């Protein structure tokens, strides 16, 4: 039966599309929105139930959640593949039967699920983790777990599972003291290549894996750990973000072995004078990279510019292999001098982008002198001092403006 048309003289283009293509289009919609297409016509009544992407969001009462889940998952036709499943259980207004979510996961397991995302309160998520880690067909897994007070380590991840196909793992662990079990977890994931970890664990964080190639590590604003150990011999890309609290001094120290690291993104916020040494050690740790992005911000508590990239009495780390560099920070006199020293040592540099981050002068930062925090970048082609961009520096004719930058004198 053709779908209803506003004008009978117009061609009904939806009706001539094959079911497979319509199901693919519906898979890009949230399940609740895709379900609304069932009122269009008889043909669309059940198409949305065959979508390979299912999103079950618990923003309504448990009866409606169960009705939706039964229809789209538990009673699903086995011939309809299930590739992606997203469960959001944090906002359910009433509780589900204890066995219900495990039954959903068991059904997803039978359908050879590939990608799973689960967001749930700590007590519910911990209880279903054995069911999650039994889905041996998973390619990617994302878990968002928060708990206050802390959950003890032996209550987090199960053991004895075989996720041999899992290549991507994303963990958001807030208020969860899980550092002890993280390495045990990683040791059982023999195919894992991509790890994203967001945590505020209160003890030393140690990560060890021979297969991980990409790591994104975000340390929460209220974390107080002192040391991060990385023993990742296959790591090629490292994204590190540290949101240090205003009330803590000293950034965590990173050390370990990452011999194949080529690309690094470093984002550090609320830096104090006490953090300079840790920043230098971090840059020394990744000094063999080929691509580097730095985003650094001083704390608003600092009334006067501090040399975030230049530890007194020591040289700026040398980057002998660096080809592409992006630096975003406040280019006051101290930071500008440090970047100039870094560029003098970057003999392999091919492209450079400098972005002046305008500091705050209100709130806790009130009282700063704008002249002290001004940009020292050369005026670019747009006539401002906010950014400088140089490309093809390995070619002689493109080095003129770059050499002008290196020749600039720093004045207070």
Q: Best-predicted range by mean pLDDT among 64-78, 181-195, 319-333?
A: 319-333
**Mean pLDDT to the nearest integer, 33-51:** 80
pLDDT of residue 412: 37
* Per-residue burial over 341-367, b = 16 or more CB atoms within 10 Å of its CB, e = otherwise: bbbeebeebbbbebbbbebeeeeebee
pLDDT of residue 12: 65
* Residue 125 counted as domain residue: no
Percent of residues, the chain, with pLDDT higher than 70: 85
Distance CA(302)–CA(298), nearest Å, equals: 7
**Cis bond leading into 357, ω under 30°?**
no
For 122-175, write each residue's pLDDT tens digit.
777 778 888 999 999 999 999 987 654 445 544 577 777 778 899 999 998 776
pLDDT band, very low/low/confident/very high, at 250 (cuts 50, 70, 90): low
**Mean pLDDT to the nearest integer, 265-284:** 88
* Residue 158 counted as domain residue: no
* Residue 162 counted as domain residue: no
Mean pLDDT (the chain, rounded): 82
* Residue 149 counted as domain residue: no
Could you say which of 87, 104, 127 is where a domain stops? Answer: 87
* Residue 166 counted as domain residue: no
Could you say which of 69, 87, 105 is where a domain stops? Answer: 87
Domain count, the chain: 2
* Residue 129 counted as domain residue: no
Q: Residue 353: which domain range?
A: 262-412
Pick 411 or 220 by higher pLDDT: 220
Percent of residues, the chain, with pLDDT higher than 90: 27
Sign of the C-alpha dihedral, residues 354, 341, 375, 253? positive
* Residue 205 counted as domain residue: no
pLDDT of residue 153: 46
pLDDT of residue 267: 94
Distance CA(17)–CA(10), nearest Å, equals: 15
Could you say which of 87, 106, 140 is where a domain stops? Answer: 87
**Mean pLDDT to the nearest integer, 48-72:** 83
Distance CA(243)–CA(33), nearest Å, equals: 36
Distance CA(3)–CA(376), nearest Å, equals: 64
pLDDT of 319 strictly over 80: yes
* Residue 385 counted as domain residue: yes
pLDDT band, very low/low/confident/very high, at 1 (cuts 50, 70, 90): very low
Lowest mean pLDDT among 85-99, 252-266, 330-344: 85-99
* Per-residue burial over 214-246, b = 16 or more CB atoms within 10 Å of its CB, e = otherwise: bbbbbbbeebebeebebebeebbbbbbbbebee
Pick 289 or 64 by higher pLDDT: 289
Pick 82 or 153 by higher pLDDT: 82
């Amino acid at each position: 039966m053709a779908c209803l048309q506003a004008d009978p003289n117009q061609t009904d283009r939806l009706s001539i599309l094959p079911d497979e293509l319509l199901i693919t289009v519906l898979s890009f919609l949230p399940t609740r929105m895709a379900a609304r297409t069932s009122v269009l016509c008889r043909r669309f009544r059940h198409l949305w139930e065959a979508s390979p992407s299912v999103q079950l969001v618990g923003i309504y009462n448990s009866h409606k959640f169960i009705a939706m889940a039964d229809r789209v998952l538990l009673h699903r036709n086995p011939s309809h593949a299930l590739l992606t499943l997203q469960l959001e259980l944090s906002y359910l207004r009433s509780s589900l039967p204890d066995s219900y979510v495990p039954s959903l996961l068991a059904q997803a397991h039978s359908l050879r699920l590939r990608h799973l995302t689960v967001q749930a309160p700590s007590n519910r998520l911990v209880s279903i983790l054995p069911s999650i880690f039994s889905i041996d067909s998973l390619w990617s897994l994302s878990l968002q777990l928060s708990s206050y007070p802390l959950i003890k380590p032996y209550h987090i991840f199960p053991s004895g599972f075989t996720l041999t196909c899992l290549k991507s793992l994303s963990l958001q662990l807030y208020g969860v003291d899980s550092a002890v079990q993280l390495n045990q977890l990683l040791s059982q994931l023999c195919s894992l290549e991509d790890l994203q970890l967001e945590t505020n664990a209160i003890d030393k964080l140690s990560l060890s894996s021979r297969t991980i190639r990409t790591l994104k590590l975000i340390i929460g604003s209220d974390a107080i750990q002192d040391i991060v150990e990385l023993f990742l011999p296959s790591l090629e890309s490292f994204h590190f973000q540290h949101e240090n609290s205003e009330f803590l001094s000293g950034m965590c120290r990173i050390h370990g072995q990452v011999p194949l690291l080529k690309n690094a993104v470093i984002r550090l916020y609320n830096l104090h004078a006490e953090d300079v040494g840790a920043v230098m050690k971090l840059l020394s740790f990744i000094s063999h990279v080929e691509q580097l992005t730095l985003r650094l911000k001083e704390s608003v508590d600092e009334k006067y510019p501090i040399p975030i990239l230049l530890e007194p009495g020591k040289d700026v780390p040398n980057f002998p292999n660096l080809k592409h560099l992006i630096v975003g920070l406040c280019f006051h006199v101290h930071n500008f001098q440090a970047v100039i020293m870094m560029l003098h040592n970057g003999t392999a540099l091919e492209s450079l982008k400098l972005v002046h981050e305008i500091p705050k002068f209100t709130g806790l930062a009130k009282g700063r002198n704008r002249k002290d925090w001004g940009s020292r970048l050369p005026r670019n082609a747009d006539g401002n001092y906010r950014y400088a961009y140089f490309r093809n520096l390995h070619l002689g004719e493109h080095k003129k403006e770059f050499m002008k930058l290196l020749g600039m004198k720093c004045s207070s």
